[in-house]
Amino acid sequence: MPEVNNSMWDTMMISAYGMKAQGERTRVISENIANAGTAALTPNSEPYTRKIITFKNEMDKQYDTDLVKVKDIQDDRKTPPTLKYMPDHPGANAAGYVKMPNVNMVIELNDMREAQRSYEANLGMMENYKTMSMRTIDMLR
């Protein structure tokens, strides 16, 4: 049986790790979107804080190739919470404002779209690999 070409196997591994990273990114973005309306419960408490995911390029010795992996998931402490006037809310301060999460839906939806496109690009690479492999097998018959 012929040995699998390492560069083709590397392509599959790189794509699989890319899909895994984008799947994790989608999970973090979904969490942000789900908590976008979660206000502070008391005037002195903080609302949900947006999460930010970062990636790293890491050499994988088992596969002898660079793979993308999640570096960290952190709270976005640079962007302050927004204030919304809701005087009847239990989290309202003396002026009637409640701290709301620092989640910007436009940013989250654009990040989600980008993660989806990156995931699909990696999936397309895997599908191309499968198609090329099947054509090679057909030619060997």
Q: What's the confidence (pLDDT) of residue 116?
A: 96
Q: What's the confidence (pLDDT) of residue 70?
A: 94
Q: What's the confidence (pLDDT) of residue 120?
A: 95
- The pTM assigned to this predicted structure is 0.83
Query: Using CA atoms, how far apart are residues 53 and 47, in angstroms rounded to an integer?
Result: 19
For the record, the structure tokens of 25 come out as 């990114």
From residue 128, how far is each of 4, 103, 123 by CA, in Å? 16, 37, 9
pLDDT in tens, 23-63: 999 999 999 999 999 999 999 999 999 999 999 998 878 77
Q: Which residue has the tokens 């979904």?
A: 30
Give me the residue spans of the domains in the chain: 6-37+45-79+103-140
Instruction: Going from the first residue of the chain to its last (141 residues), give the mean pLDDT of each consecutive group of 10, the final group possibly shorter.
Output: 59 89 97 95 95 92 83 95 95 96 97 96 89 86 80
Q: What's the confidence (pLDDT) of residue 5?
A: 52
